[in-house]
Amino acid sequence: MTAVSAAPSAGHKQREAVAMACRVLAHRGLAEGILGHISLRITDTELLVRCRGPQERGLAYTEASDIRFVDLDGNPAREGELDGGYTVPNELPLHTELLRRHPQIRAVVHAHPPKVVAADLAGLSVRPIVGAYDIPGTRLAAGGVPVYPRGVLVRNRQLAAEMAESMGSRPVVILRGHGITSAADTVEQAVLQAISVDSLAGLALQIAAAGGETLDLPEADMAELPDLGGSFNTLTAWRHELARLG
């Protein structure tokens, strides 16, 4: 057996989880075409990341074999991981800079949601404009969704550091004219955060198109929103996302 075929066997369950998350991202329209990637920290010095292979077909068709072990500098972390023509994302520093700075972060999602990009360019910020419609999304937006104001390819540590500074301690940052970065303890949570931001951005665009004004949910209503817990907000929501894939 060659190193190329052997490499994907290690950590197969984790590779499959990242691959399915990539497909959810694409199915939701947040990563159309061949752009976007997801990473998962495995050790202090290793991560799994969605790489581009010789038969690249886009995120919607990601397989476990597209998810590869690399180190924080983009080198193969295990034997054979980048054999066969696999390459790390140009924007790998976007992932690794956040992992270096924040030990609590294990998963990073980078996507290009058209609605988020359009809303930001239209001057519409992601705000807690809904209530029980999306409780986790409302809570996320209430803390603010910062914007990295440069529409660049985040391809080196200097640019990644700028993005990380803009992001601060928030879980999601909008990249102007580019997309979003979402970070969390799990791949599932990072993707669900991105979906919520996309949903809120889409609503903001619809409200503006109808001539309305986006107003934050009143504090009294915000205080009434319950925390439904991780088993509902993440586990049940994620089962739904996987079921949508068919």
Active site residues: 91
Looking at this protein, which amino acid is placed at residue 191?
V
